[in-house]
Amino acid sequence: MYRVLLIICYVCIIYGTTNVHAAESEYNVHNSKIYFRFGESVIKSWFRENETAIADIDFVFSSINTQEFSKIRISGSASPEGSRHFNEQLSHNRAMALQKYLSDKFNISDSFFDINYSVSNISDSGDDRDLRYAEIVVVKKGTTHVDTIVRVADNSQSVEVEPANSKLSDYWLWGGLLLVFIIVGYLLSKVRFKIGRIGNNIESSFKIANSDYPLKTDKLNIEKKLISEDSVPSGSGGINGEQYTYGQLCHQPIIPELMQNIKNPQLKRYAKECNSRNSAKVFSMFKVQGEYCFWGLRVGPVVKTPTVSEMKQVLLKDPKTAQAVKERQVTPAMIRAVTYDLLREELGRCCGISKEEAGLAIGNQLDCAPHEDGSGYIFMVPNWAHKWFRHDGYVSKMLSELNR
């Protein structure tokens, strides 16, 4: 039904607009796209088709007097990962980067530019890379709004325009209004579909990055976190003193300086497995049920974390913690003492060392920390990530259950 009505409106608009008097019988519109790398707003000529696009833009602006243009429209765009605020700023920065390039090279006044941006779209190609761009559209003087509608409708480069009477103009007016109502209705009907498609894309990305994740993901709320590869994890007790970038650490979570000093053979194998996994599938940070997911950064064995009832039973065996359970004053340290011991015991068993030695190896040789993950397991995670991404999921849930 929508398609039939759109065709009717199309005929009305073409019939009316091709008979509306315009200032010029011909016009010229040039457009090009400059693509950007993930999370960046710097124009790089070697990236994708940018070299050809930049050459086209330079040819247009060097061969035609800019005073002949009525408007230079630049639209920035970003792929849907990350927060809307970040994407809006990134899209705007990309558009401004292209404006600066033109202003600096061809001395064009800011008054010529019309800057726009868009965010959180879905690419027709299915490739989010196609959404990271800044597009330029150059319109020659004399082009009217009506001319532009005709060109969009039939993809023509020139239009013969004849004088129109008021009746034919009405066709365009009413056809245009009807088209607006239909498009609004159509878009509203597609909102749910688009939202679902975005969610499915994120879930698919998560499954690819974490193919061995122990939980079913179809009913989980999954978000992908947009983080610049050039960011340098820092703070939080002096992490990453070597100043590696986030992109480098995602490729090799256990850095070379640590690899050289790992003494235990099994411990070294665990570190190599983590690095090998992330060199093949570069780590991406997701949130699952609102909590950071460190599954892709795990090092060594994974141990099932206790349920609320199991944790309560363990705490009741010790007189000190038993009193805390009865008085509903269980602390985070009490919970972590239980879970950390489980991991140390398993690591000691696998590496042929004592529980105490395993505890020292986690921090000193691997520079890792025990992490109770939302997947229901505890495992080692590199300190640079564990401290940089603030979280308290498992412990908070245990406290709320045990102390209520």
The reply to whether 379 and 248 lie within a common domain is yes
pTM above 0.75, yes or no: no
Distance CA 178, CA 64 (A): 39
More reliable by pLDDT, 100 or 200: 100
Distance CA 40, CA 90 (A): 7
**H or E element at residue 138:** strand 133-140
Which of 112, 142, 172 is a domain's end point? Answer: 142
Q: Worst-scoring range by mean pLDDT, 97-111, 122-136, 231-245, 368-382? A: 122-136
CA distances from residue 159 to 23, 152, 190 in whole angstroms, order as listed: 12, 12, 34
Strands 286-288 and 69-77 turn out to be unpaired
* pLDDT-above-70 percentage for the chain: 77
Which of 287, 260, 284 is CA-nearest to residue 271? 260
Q: 217 lies in a domain?
A: yes
The reply to whether 377 and 228 lie within a common domain is yes
Strands 377-382 and 29-35 turn out to be unpaired
Residue 33: CATH number of its domain:
3.30.1330.60
- pLDDT of 369 above 70: yes
The reply to whether 230 and 348 lie within a common domain is yes
Which of 136, 131, 88 is CA-nearest to residue 115? 136
State the total domains in the chain.
2
Most confident of 36-50, 66-80, 107-121, 327-341: 327-341
The reply to whether 227 and 353 lie within a common domain is yes
Distance CA 115, CA 73 (A): 6
**Residue 219 sits in which domain range?**
202-403
The reply to whether 389 and 259 lie within a common domain is yes
Ramachandran area for residue 323 (φ above 0: left; ψ -120 to 50: alpha; else beta): alpha
The reply to whether 222 and 369 lie within a common domain is yes
Q: 393 lies in a domain?
A: yes
Query: What mean pLDDT do residues 374-384 have?
Result: 95
The reply to whether 364 and 216 lie within a common domain is yes
The reply to whether 113 and 251 lie within a common domain is no
Q: So what's the pLDDT on residue 24?
A: 38
Structure token pair of residue 136: 């330029």
